[in-house]
Amino acid sequence: MARTAGDRLVADAVRRTAARTAALALTATASTAAALLLPAVLGHTLDLLLARRGEAPRWVWLCAALILLPAVLDATDDLLTGTTTARATAGLRHRCLRHVLAVGPRLTGHFAPGDLVTRLVGNAAAVGTAPASLARTVASVAGPVGGIVGLGLIDPWLAVTFLAGAPVLALLLRAFARASADSLTAYQRLQGDLAGRLVEALGGLRTIAAAGTADRERERILRPLPGLSQYGHRMWQVQGRSTAQAATVVPLLQIAVLAVAGLGLAHGRLSVGDLLAASRYAVLAAGIGMLVGQLNALVHSRTAAARLAEPLAHAPTAHGTRRLPEGGDGTLRLRGVRAERGGRHVLRGVDLDVPGGTTLAVVGRSGTGKSVLAAIAGRLADPDGGTVTLDGVPLDGLAHEELRREVGYAFERPALLGGTIGGTIGFGASLPAPEAVTAAARAACADDFIRRLPDGYVTPCADAPLSGGELQRLGLARAFAHAGRLLVLDDATSSLDSVTELKVSRALVHDVTAGTRLIVAHRVTTAARADRVAWLDGGRIRATGTHEELWQRADYRAVFEG
């Protein structure tokens, strides 16, 4: 299935560069045609020179032109190859990147980030070479076929002699393609695995350093390396064996052709020029080396396309066309919501009502599904069952721009995606005014430290050393600047000190325009300041109420003590 989808991906790359691919095929074929014409012209010129005919000089000039023409065509071929490959690769990367972003966070549940990067960068580049490789393969086939035809035109027995050994060459090509494809598939899989392990380690460098496990982690990252080396060597062995076998068969075929041509010369059927042409055509007809190289490139492209097709097989998140009703207050309702992660039931039939304008804290022990619930509440993920509505409209029926305009998020570890500090706060579906960015930063207690940066709000993110708390405040400011009817904070204040968290909590209620607030809470103080608390336990809502009401229960208090 992946192979079929991969072949479609290769075909799409060829279609996208059809004009350049056709031009490249024509250029390569013209160069091959010149190479095929040259032996006949050389042979005829030699016969004219030996016979001292007057028209010989004209044919000498024609030989010179046929020698120079392929050089010009080869330079054009190189230019077209580079531009065709670059265009095809860029198109594939844009398409794949758009698809990955359209699928969203659930894709990382199937592919490690490092593996995804390897597919979108390395494998896309390999697929991008397919149009040029295909165009050159046409010329690579034209060379041997034209050489056989040339032999047949000189003497049919020459073509028959060569064709007698052709099945052996065909079997060599088939065996090479199969063995090479198997090795490349395994090699690329291990390459993605190694990249995934490396990205994981880079994300956890501080933990590795603190634990003193650098040597152990290095061993873990490099564990696929012996297998990678094995399959890499196997690829070279396959190619080397195929080349060696071809190098044994091809000279035998050439010798046989020359022997028959020599007999023809001895019996007067062929001239000296015919013998020269036959020797050249025998070389062209046996051009297996060039064909092996092009087949290897195509096999590489197909195996890379099969890997690239795997993330593309995941359907992007579908959005509706509906709008939220005017005057809605952000009422959120979950009915029978179920969710599975890694074969485990994380949420089991969750029913939850969050009235508009309410600040709801979701509490529970680690692993009870709080973050999954938060993701489903704003449709960063879809439930495996049940419905979620905002002001009576199912989230999966909302238009994409409506959903992202009305639902804001802040996370425990926000990403700085805006280029500058101000750009990070303004990063979103809509661009807030500069004064709105500043107001959001003040509400998140970020304005003071931003103004102390070298260039304030226009400081590049890469030049702004930020603590964990400052990073979280930027994430909160971004969420506040884009607050609509629903604002979801998924452990977004865990790195703030108590005083800053109190200020942010007050601003969240009094200064931020969000209608409803859903907060994943781990601190008692956060739950205590919420209007209501939803206690999640074992994937179900165990109880809802005010913090004071629930605090009377010892098992609720144990949630914050564990």
Q: 437-458 as b/e, with b when 16 or more CB fall inside 10 Å?
A: bbbbbbbbbbbebbeebeeebe
Residue 360: phi, psi to the nearest 5?
Answer: -110, 125
CATH class of 332-561: alpha beta
Amino acid at 482: H
Instruction: Say which residue, 285 or 443, is predicted with more confidence.
Output: 443
Most confident of 61-70, 345-354, 406-415, 514-523: 345-354
Q: Which residues pair with 353 in a beta bridge?
A: 333
User: Which tokens hold the place of 164?
Assistant: 């007698």
Q: For 466-496, what is each residue's pLDDT tens digit? A: 888 888 888 888 888 887 889 999 888 878 8
Q: What is the pLDDT of residue 247?
A: 62
Mean pLDDT highest for which of 55-64, 383-392, 408-417, 476-485?
383-392
Mean pLDDT across the chain, nearest whole number?
A: 83
For the segment 308-318, the average pLDDT, to the nearest whole number, is 88
What is the distance between the alpha carbons of residues 142 and 125, in angstroms, rounded to a whole number?
27
Q: What does the pLDDT read at residue 52?
A: 72
Within 8 A by CB and 6+ apart from 97, the residues are: 120
Determine the pLDDT at residue 361: 92
- Are the beta carbons of 70 and 99 closer than 8 angstroms? no
Say if residues 529 and 505 touch (Cβ distance below 8 Å): yes
pLDDT at 518: 93
HSE toward the beta carbon, residue 290, CA cutoff 13 A:
18
Q: Average pLDDT, stretch 192-207?
A: 76
The reported pLDDT for the residue numbered 562 is: 59
How crowded is residue 267: how many other Cβ atoms within 10 Å of its Cβ? 8
Q: Which CATH class is domain 2-312?
A: mainly alpha
Q: Specify the higher pLDDT residue, 279 or 80.
A: 80
250-255: long-range contacts at Cβ-Cβ below 8 A with a sequence spacing of 24 or more?
250/169, 250/286, 250/288, 252/165, 253/161, 253/162, 253/165, 253/282, 253/285, 253/286, 254/279, 254/282, 254/283, 254/286
Q: Name the strand (E) or helix (H) holding 281.
A: helix 272-285
**How many helices (DSSP H) and strands (DSSP E) are in the chain?**
22, 10
Query: Tens digit of pLDDT for each residue in 110-125?
Result: 887 878 888 888 888 8
The number of C-alpha atoms within 13 Å of 92 and in the hemisphere containing its C-beta is: 36
In this prediction, residue 288 has a pLDDT band, given cuts at 50, 70 and 90, of: low
Predicted confidence at residue 514, as pLDDT, reads 67
pLDDT at residue 176, as a whole number: 62
Least trusted range by pLDDT, from 87-96, 329-338, 491-500 = 491-500
> What are the structure tokens assigned to 45, written together?
């010129």
Mean pLDDT computed over 353-374: 90
Residues 6+ apart with CB under 8 A from 133: 294, 297, 298, 301
pLDDT exceeds cutoff 70 at 164: yes
Q: Decide: helix, strand or coil at residue 496.
A: coil
Q: Which residues contact 268 (CB under 8 A, 6 or more apart)?
A: none
Q: For residue 61, count CB atoms less than 10 angstroms from its CB and return exposed for 0-12, middle for 13-18, buried for 19 or more.
A: exposed
Query: What integer pLDDT is reported at residue 1 of this predicted model?
Result: 46
Other beta carbons within 10 angstroms of residue 497's beta carbon come to 10
| pLDDT(391) > 90 | yes
Classify the C-alpha dihedral 391-494-404-540 as positive or negative: negative
Between 161-175, 362-376, 408-422, the lowest mean confidence (pLDDT) is in: 161-175
Highest mean pLDDT pick, 91-105, 157-171, 255-269, 375-389: 375-389
Region(s) of the chain under CATH 3.40.50.300: 332-561
Give first-to-last CA distance, the chain, whole Å.
Answer: 48
Average pLDDT of the segment spanning 388-405: 92
